[in-house]
Structure 1
């Protein structure tokens, strides 16, 4: 297909309406099974694997309302919405001074070294709840960015400790907790402003944040947008399950036909209508414990809670196979449990994340579909994935081998699907 022809197909897919919900049963039966319109954009036989699940599980097959779940950042879009929101907040003085002017109030798991570094960089002169002047105070912006990007201070000290690494990433949760003091609608407005700028910026554009230069652009993947639209036409219940704040994910997900009612993110609790810095619980961990979020096993937990209606500690266990998602899409280790639970096809965009790629390349049951990123795919990794030694992250943050369901060790894997 020529570049011009491909552009025309993509434009047609993005403009195509969903089928009306009011169609009669006879009309539905007379239509052919919905087909991926950008099937030739996928790697190898991935489109065929996906289409087979659509045909077998959707309204043309067993019928019902099968489930499909997608990670957001670098799965539905290229780049990261939490990054873009934080960048925008720092450039527009929207990060608020913490309660009691003490950064320890922003996370149960922040270390003294982390809190002290943030206080030293951002100061204590600004009253609690007032905006920090991060557009001018580059030291403060740089310290916040270092915590967001690496979980370390600018001097290299660990900022978070003591959390379960299979239930959450404390640095990701901290992005939501920084919204404390705002009303949810205000957070959505900030996310909307950041989204508008990121979509307007040319591919490859950068921006100045603090003393450094950061990515300034985001794009929706037409191929994933096409996939979600096809699933919707085929009768699937499509959901976003993101490790970004829910308010932020809500703003972005509507573009692909997934409303806030089917968008799961880090769900912040409120007091008197304002975000209070604490998080919804799951799997027997109560609201306000701030100990779990949609991350690795936490993604399974919130799928079981929010979508399947499972209660209590059982939310952390794999649901019965008949209830689980038929299709899942992801790009990083945060998505690995959610993808493993999928019973039909596991769409895996290759970003060289060790545990995920070990399982995807091992492909023990033939249900994994590894694909290069659709925009700026990564080249071949110049090393093997260390599956047999240290690609798995344990709950305490230590590493070990990646095991199959039967307990055998996955051997090291070569990177074979790339740009």
Structure 2
């Protein structure tokens, strides 16, 4: 299965990899033999957890056009989650905070919050209507910078519950989507992708400039006020490119927002897959989703979450159509490396053939799989675990309860099982 042709950045990296120095003129290049190829290696000055850098380099070398382990044109691929995997903190949530602070969230159609998401509950609609009011006309900006009750309710519901603690979303497939993530992206409804990208760029300037640990108050809620790219991941992406492995992002944040950030970590914007919303005839985002895996546009049933993230990986990256996109592809058609940090990433990271990188945020289902497949356990292990590179978490005080850490389609807890059906035993958090 063929991917698009390598772009200019990859071509340049390939030339550099075989030693074609830009300083040589045509005559000099013809007169002297090319130097011995020096294939880029992960920067040893950037700290990784014990053995992880070497493990990742081995996986890269095994799939490298520079090393000659694969021939050019085989188009090996690596897939990364974005939030808290490539960067510290969450660009989707960070952009939402910018929208709220700058009165950019629009009153929903007919002033009816039930129009904003297929799975929003009556309790959430009632809470939003009460907090945000009905005086502002539909399609006009809500004064969230001054109406702290409205901002607080919106922030609460982006986390899945009303400020009073009631469930904000029900009835969705928990292996295919997280409705609160989708609703967070729905806050940009009424804007074009270009407008949303502009908002994201303006927010990005501040987040990048602010020091680690910075916080802000939105409504009455205190939240992060910095987003930084992990230097280790930027170096990993650059090294992959130098070896002819194409890096992609598959994220559960809205696609225009992730595209605004992608170049900062070495990704090209045409290799970004975020949540994809439908648009009206004027190019403005509406409250409905593009479909995947045979699910039609506007059904709002599947997005970049757990098995849905595999679907979007297979459909958007590998070009698989229909229901086949929901299935695990043969090994020679899958990503060689996958990287993530949360339950939303567990399926596509598990699908990687050579290296599954887990950034440890103490997320049970994800970490049960990571520890069970850890490369240090011996032959066959394909998982590597690294603490967050910025503000890493302390050790989890109790083991991950893998018998109940799994996620069912209706959201109930379930065992985390291996491919043979056996239940993964409880796992001690040893990488911190």
Q: TM-score, normalised by structure 2?
A: 0.90
Q: Give the C-alpha shift of residue 22 in structure 1.
A: 7.5
Aligned to 1:231: 240
- Bigger mean CA deviation after superposition, 65-74 or 54-63: 54-63
Q: Does 1:47 align with 2:53?
A: yes
CA distance in 1, matches of 2:94, 2:345: 21
User: Which residue in the other structure is 2:5 paired with?
Assistant: none
State the Cα deviation string for residues 275-302 of structure 1 (Å, max 9, x = none).
Answer: 1111110011111111111111111101
- Counterpart of 2:338? 328
* Separation in 2, partners of 1:73, 1:153: 24
Question: What is the match of residue 7 of structure 1?
Answer: none
Is 1:100 the counterpart of 2:110 in the alignment? yes
Equivalent residue in structure 1 for 2:143, among 133, 144, 153: 133
Q: Distance in 2 between matches of 1:270 and 1:38?
A: 46
Q: Does 1:88 align with 2:98?
A: yes
Question: Is residue 397 of structure 1 aligned with residue 416 of structure 2?
Answer: no
Which residue is 1:144 aligned to?
Answer: 154
Who is 1:23 aligned against?
15
CA distance in 2, matches of 1:179, 1:223: 31
Among 362, 374, 386, the residue aligned to 1:371: 386
CA contact (8 A) 2:18 2:38 kept: no
What is the 5 A alignment of 1:147-226?
147-149=157-159, 151-226=160-235
Q: Which runs of 5+ in 2 are unaligned?
A: 1-8, 21-33, 375-379
Displacement of 1:307 in angstroms is 1.2
What does residue 62 of structure 1 align with? 70
Cα RMSD for the two superposed structures: 1.6
Contact 2:157–2:180 (8 Å) recurs in 1 = yes
**Corresponding position: 1:271 with 2:271:** no
Q: Distance in 2 between matches of 1:69 and 1:326?
A: 8
Distance 1:25 1:386, change over 3 A: closer
Match of residue 318, structure 1, among 325, 328, 335: 328
TM-score of the superposed pair, with normalisation by structure 1: 0.93
Aligned mates of 2:352, 2:193 — CA distance in 1: 32
Alignment counterpart, residue 294 of structure 2, candidates 273, 278, 284: 284
Aligned counterparts of 1:387 and 1:348: Cα–Cα separation in 2 = 16
Give distance in 1, aligned partners of 2:253 and 2:275. 6
Distance 1:240 1:100, change over 3 A: same
- Aligned equivalent of 1:13: none
Q: Following the alignment from structure 1 to structure 2, what is the Cα–Cα distance between the partners of residues 302 and 291?
A: 13
Whether 2:419 is the aligned partner of 1:409: answer no
In the TM superposition, 1:234-313 aligns within 5 A as 234-272=243-281, 273-313=283-323
5+ residue gaps, structure 1, are 1-16
Distance 2:238 2:18 in 1: 21
Between the aligned partners of 1:197 and 1:24, the Cα distance in structure 2 is 34
Distance 2:387 2:47 in 1: 10
- The DSSP-based 3-state class of the residue aligned with 1:41 is coil
CA displacement at 1:21 relative to structure 2? 5.5
Give the aligned partner of residue 123 of structure 2. 113
Partners in 2 of 1:336 and 1:50 — Cα distance? 18
Deviations 1:387-414 (A, max 9, x none): 02x1001010001110000000100000
Q: Deviations over 1:313-357 (max 9, x none)?
A: 010000111010000111111100011100000111100000010
Give SS of 1:20's match. helix
Distance 2:61 2:257 in 1: 33
SS in 2 for 1:23: helix
> For 2:145 and 2:129, how far apart are their aligned partners in 1?
17
SS at match of 2:201: helix
Partner of residue 351 from structure 2, selected from 341, 365, 370: 341
In 2: Cα distance, 1:153 partner to 1:42 partner: 39
* Runs ≥4 residues deviating over 2 A: 21-30
Distance 2:297 2:63 in 1: 35
Deviation at 1:23, TM superposition (A): 2.7
For residues 325 and 195 of structure 2, what CA distance do their matches in structure 1 show?
A: 31
Whether the aligned pair in 1 keeps the contact of 2:17 and 2:38 (CA below 8 Å) is: no
SS at 1:69 equivalent? strand
Q: Name the CA distance, whole Å, in 1 between partners of 2:348 and 2:253.
A: 16
Partner of 1:213, secondary structure, is strand
Identify the match of residue 43 of structure 2 among 6, 28, 37.
37
